């Protein structure tokens, strides 16, 4: 029996593996990656590394064992049919008879097109009959704080979220919830709506940036169409730009406010405040 984490070379996957190593022996953890060199340090620490690609079903043959607990971290290849990719993992998990398959989804309240792949994967997972957990992750603080250069350069947070609020949390918080599910009992067939304890508006975010930098940073609220143009002008492919603008429109409608308390309950502590993520980003 192993705890198996796909996408282990990614930012969330790294947090999950690091937190798992605080709770279980390294030999019980399997990191599934496309490029083993990205996790050479984990292999050195005794983590089993398996090489597989969501685009190549045969690479998952025999990867799972009966009784494994698996975390399927959603992929980021938006143009490659993520439901089909994720179904490769679900089919392999079913064939092996895993004990649990947890999937990093999106909040149930989110209607933006970005959520379509998550809803499709949830359906495939439920239809498979494999014991599941839906970790419906809200947005990361880091989606905003990892990209501060243009904000500081222009002295403005530009978004199409109007006065909408959003309950973000750090990747480490979402990883803690996943680890609680993978190492705990009684989570079979549960759906968790995960988000930060405190929701914030983009005006409040700009004010926090102003406070911590000592500079005047404004919130420049634009329309989704204008944001699509700005993002495309910055080099993002048009469909991706439209998809992100669509998310902002959903934020304006309150669709990324998550007030279930599931995240801090599973993590066993309050979620990380946005101000801490801002401070960490400004220190880098
Ligand atoms: N909730 C949010 O705010 C938010 C924000 C951004 C993304 N997400 C979603 O959450 C996931 C995890 O977030 P993250 O920050 O850890 O993203 P990330 O750093 O981009 O990691 C994505 C992981 O998926 C793996 N992957 C992608 N395509 C794959 C394939 N075909 N086969 C096998 N593995 C594949 C990547 O492997 P490589 O290292 O080989 O590329 C990487 O390990 C993302 O992939 C995305 O679906 C959520």
User: Span 173-180, mean pLDDT?
Assistant: 98
Pocket-testing residue among 39, 76, 175, ligand 1, by greatest number of atoms within 8 A of Cβ: 76
Q: Which atom of ligand 1 is nearest to the CA of 85?
A: 31
Query: What is the Å distance from ligand 1's center to 158 Cα?
Result: 25
Q: Which atom of ligand 1 is nearest to the CA of 54?
A: 32
pLDDT of residue 140: 98
Establish if 113 belongs to a structural domain: yes
Share of the chain above pLDDT 90, in %: 98
Crossing angle between the packed helical segments 274-283 and 202-213, to the nearest 10 degrees:
40
Tell whether the model's pLDDT for residue 151 goes beyond 90: yes
- Inter-residue contact 128 to 263 (CB < 8 Å): no
Buried b (16+ CB within 10 A) or exposed e, 93-131: beebebbbbbbbbbbbbbebebbebbebbbebbeeeebb
Establish if 133 belongs to a structural domain: yes
Average pLDDT taken over every residue of the chain: 97
Pocket-testing residue among 10, 83, 136, 195, ligand 1, by greatest number of atoms within 8 A of Cβ: 10
pLDDT of residue 1: 83
Establish if 132 belongs to a structural domain: yes
In this structure, the residue with its CA closest to atom 4 of ligand 1 is 139
In this structure, the residue with its CA closest to atom 13 of ligand 1 is 12
Tell whether the model's pLDDT for residue 147 goes beyond 90: no
User: Span 95-112, mean pLDDT?
Assistant: 98
* Phi, psi values for residue 164, rounded to 5°: -65, 155
Query: What is the Å distance from ligand 1's center to 76 Cα?
Result: 5
pLDDT of residue 284: 79
Establish if 206 belongs to a structural domain: no
Query: What is the Å distance from ligand 1's center to 69 Cα?
Result: 19
Establish if 77 belongs to a structural domain: yes
In this structure, the residue with its CA closest to atom 12 of ligand 1 is 12
Place of tokens 């309240």: 109
Tell whether the model's pLDDT for residue 31 goes beyond 90: yes
Determine the structural domain holding residue 184 and report its residue range. 3-138+170-194+259-271
In this structure, the residue with its CA closest to atom 33 of ligand 1 is 53
**Domain at 15, CATH number:** 3.40.50.720
Place of tokens 């680890």: 179
| pLDDT tens profile 258-270 | 999 999 999 999 9
Establish if 158 belongs to a structural domain: no
Establish if 266 belongs to a structural domain: yes
Cβ-in-10-Å burial (0-12, 13-18, 19+) of 190 comes to middle
pLDDT of residue 233: 95
Cβ neighbours of residue 44 under 8 Å, at least 6 residues apart?
none
Q: Which residue, 204, 199, 211, 196, is CA-closest to 282?
A: 211
Total count of domains within the chain: 1
pLDDT of residue 102: 99
Tell whether the model's pLDDT for residue 163 goes beyond 90: yes
Question: Other CB atoms closer than 10 Å to residue 11's CB: what's the count?
Answer: 14
- Inter-residue contact 16 to 71 (CB < 8 Å): yes
Query: What is the Å distance from ligand 1's center to 281 Cα?
Result: 20
Say how many residues make up the chain: 284
Residue 48 parent element (H or E): strand 48-51
User: Span 171-175, mean pLDDT?
Assistant: 98
User: Span 178-199, mean pLDDT?
Assistant: 98
Query: What is the Å distance from ligand 1's center to 155 Cα?
Result: 30
In this structure, the residue with its CA closest to atom 21 of ligand 1 is 10
Tell whether the model's pLDDT for residue 187 goes beyond 90: yes
Establish if 161 belongs to a structural domain: no
Task: Kindly report whether the global pTM for this prediction surpasses the value 0.95.
Answer: yes
User: Span 92-106, mean pLDDT?
Assistant: 98
């Amino acid at each position: 029996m192993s705890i198996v984490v796909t996408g282990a070379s990614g930012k969330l996957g790294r947090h999950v593996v690091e937190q798992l190593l605080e709770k279980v022996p390294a030999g019980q953890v399997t990191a599934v990656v496309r490029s083993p060199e990205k996790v050479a340090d984990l292999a050195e620490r005794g983590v089993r590394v398996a090489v597989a690609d969501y685009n190549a079903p045969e690479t998952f043959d025999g990867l799972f064992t009966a009784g494994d607990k698996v975390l399927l971290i959603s992929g980021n290849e938006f143009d490659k049919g993520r439901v089909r990719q994720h179904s490769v993992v679900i089919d392999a998990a079913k064939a092996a008879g895993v004990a649990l398959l947890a999937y990093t989804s999106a909040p149930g309240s989110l209607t933006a097109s970005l959520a379509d792949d998550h809803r499709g994967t949830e359906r495939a997972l439920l239809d498979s009959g494999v014991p599941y957990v839906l970790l419906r992750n809200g947005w990361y603080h880091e989606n905003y704080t990892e990209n501060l250069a243009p904000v500081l350069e222009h002295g403005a947070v530009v978004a199409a979220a109007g006065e909408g609020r959003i309950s973000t949390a750090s990747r480490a918080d979402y990883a803690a919830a996943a680890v609680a599910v993978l190492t705990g009992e009684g989570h079979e067939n549960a759906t968790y709506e995960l988000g930060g304890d405190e929701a914030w508006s983009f005006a409040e975010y700009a004010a926090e940036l102003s406070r911590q930098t000592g500079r005047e940073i404004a919130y420049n609220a634009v329309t989704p169409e204008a944001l699509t143009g700005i993002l495309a002008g910055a080099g993002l492919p048009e469909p991706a730009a439209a998809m992100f603008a669509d998310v902002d429109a959903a934020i304006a409608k309150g669709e990324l406010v998550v007030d279930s308390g599931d995240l801090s309950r599973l993590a066993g502590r309050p979620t990380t405040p946005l101000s801490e993520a801002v401070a960490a980003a400004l220190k880098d």
